[in-house]
Amino acid sequence: MSWTDENKENGKNLLEQPALRAVDATDQEFEATLKDFRTSVHAWSDAEFHRPRTVKVEIRRRTWRLAAGWALGCVLAAGGVSGGLLEQHHQREVVRIAVEQKAAAERKQLQEQEARAKVSDEVLLAGVDSDVSRDVPSAMEPLAQLMVDDGTK
């Protein structure tokens, strides 16, 4: 049978075919119910098939896409802002650490200078003391000189 052939069974009640009675319902009420069911499905399908198509699904998809786009945009914006803030904070931290390190180095240098200066002062004073003690004559020197002079006399 080629596809161009019309469906032979269109409009024909298959329940009336004797060969199929073994598997088909025999009860009249049941047959009527099945017929109603078929009619109902056909009517529903015909109505839906010829219903003017709306863009309801498309709108829903668009809405969904729009919402998803907004959500994604918000996430990206929040990510960008938080990333920027994080980067800024990181840079501040780096600068702060660098400043602290520099200050510490300066403090250390100053302390070393102070220490060096203190040491040099002490050395200088010690030098001065020793020089003074060498230059100034002993306190008993004049008396000793006198005694020597008397004995010789």
Partner 1 sequence: MAAGTAVKAIDMATAEEFAADEFSRVVERHRPQIFRFLLSSTRDLDLAETLTQECFLKAHRNWGSFRGESSAMTWLMRIAINLQKDHWRNRRMQFWKTTRTNSVDLDEASEWLPSGESSVEQQLLARERVKQVWQSVKGLSERQRTVFLLRYVEEQELSEIAEATALSEGTVKAHLSRAVARVRLELGGKR
Range in contact with partner 1 (rule: CB under 8 A) among 28-36, 98-106, 113-121, 123-131 = 28-36
Q: Which two three-digit tokens encode residue 78?
A: 């929040």
* Collapsed DSSP state (helix, strand, coil) of residue 2: coil
The span from the CA of 16 to the CA of 145, in Å, is 167
23 closest CA partner among 14, 32, 12: 14
Pick from 38, 62, 90, 118: which binds partner 1 (CB under 8 A)?
38
Indicate whether 7 belongs to the interface with partner 1 (CB under 8 A): yes
Q: What are residue 12's phi and psi, to 5 degrees?
A: -105, 140
Indicate whether 28 belongs to the interface with partner 1 (CB under 8 A): no
52 membership: H or E segment, kind and range: none
Q: Are 98 and 92 in contact (CB under 8 A)?
A: no
Q: What is the dihedral of CA 74, 75, 80, 81, to 10 degrees?
A: 60
Indicate whether 46 belongs to the interface with partner 1 (CB under 8 A): yes
Q: Which two three-digit tokens encode residue 34?
A: 């099945």
Closer residue to partner 1 (CB): 30 or 148: 30
The span from the CA of 16 to the CA of 11, in Å, is 12
Closer residue to partner 1 (CB): 43 or 95: 43
Residue 23 beta carbon to partner 1: minimum distance, rounded to whole angstroms: 5
Pick from 16, 21, 25, 117: which binds partner 1 (CB under 8 A)?
25
Pick from 14, 55, 132, 136: which binds partner 1 (CB under 8 A)?
14
Pick from 16, 41, 75, 78: which binds partner 1 (CB under 8 A)?
41
Indicate whether 47 belongs to the interface with partner 1 (CB under 8 A): yes
Interface residues with partner 1 (CB under 8 A)? Answer: 1-5, 7, 9-10, 12-14, 20, 22-25, 27, 30, 33-34, 36-49, 57
